[in-house]
Amino acid sequence: MADPPRPRPARPQDGLAWVTGASAGIGWAVVLRLLADGWTVLATSRRPQPLAELAGAHPGRVVVAPGDVTDQAAMEAAVAAAGRPVALAILNAGTFLPMSAQDFDLAAFRTQIEVNLMGTATTLAAVLPGMLARRAGQIAIVSSVAGYRGLPTGIGYGTSKAGLINLAESLKFDLDRAGVMTNLINPGFVRTPLTDKNDFPMPFLIEADMAADRIVRGLAAGRFEITFPRRFTWWLKLLRILPYAAFFPLVARATGAAARR
């Protein structure tokens, strides 16, 4: 029996790049960066107008597929109507609704789980069968360093992003054997409409075009985890291994949040 193909980074000649959450922020910047690298992009968002602007500015290079990532039928239809196989899927759509225990809002919590976690699962379900059948492709899941450990005001957002980290890690075992590359993207603070909501200091904040450059270069290099800016995210990685007795007081002092062991 022949050995399974070894996963490799997707190339523009392999098919389309699919970017969800493409109408703003990191998604918009990633689309532009992929176009500069010669890709034809399938762009998905709930907001059709920005997608139309992208398509108008890049005729023949952007395939518009408006839709909600939580809508299974719409995501399957987007992939089916693309006209070419999806070789690279960057599952980026998400939302952020800051929340503390004092203002816990079940509807807001559910929205973040539905969009960030279930929306990624829904788009994954739409694109995965074709890649498995071809035994080729690349799937990049956009999570966040907020998923490394629980942080203040991240009750819904961090929970969803932690789930995405686990999802990508779990997928990699199976997809490695199937010839499909898996990537996990964990950005730090990036200037987007979502982070514009924050009313606290954001260390090492970078612009969306810089984030897009690091994402696309990381995907081409085939690294499993793409995280940036490293001078910030590696400190957060350190927090992952601290015992709770050290973790809670340290984060409480750093963020001004009250915490008890």
Q: Show which residues are catalytic.
A: 157
E strand or H helix at 33? helix 25-36
Backbone torsion region of residue 96, taken as left when φ is above 0, otherwise alpha when ψ lies between -120 and 50, otherwise beta: beta
The secondary structure of residue 197, as a DSSP letter, is: G
The secondary structure of residue 64, as a DSSP letter, is: E
Which residues make Cβ contacts (< 8 Å) with residue 239, sequence separation at least 6?
148, 149, 247, 250, 251
Cα 159 → chain centroid = 14
- Token pair in block for residue 126: 């739409």
Q: What is the CB-side half-sphere exposure of residue 111 using CA atoms within 13 A?
A: 11
Edge-to-edge strands, sheet with 86-91: 62-64, 41-44, 16-20, 86-91, 138-142, 181-187, 225-228
Residue type, 34: L
Q: Say how many C-beta atoms besides its own lie within 10 A of residue 228's C-beta.
A: 21
Contact 152, 255 (CB under 8 A): yes
Backbone torsion region of residue 93, taken as left when φ is above 0, otherwise alpha when ψ lies between -120 and 50, otherwise beta: beta
φ, ψ for residue 229 (rounded to 5)? -70, 135
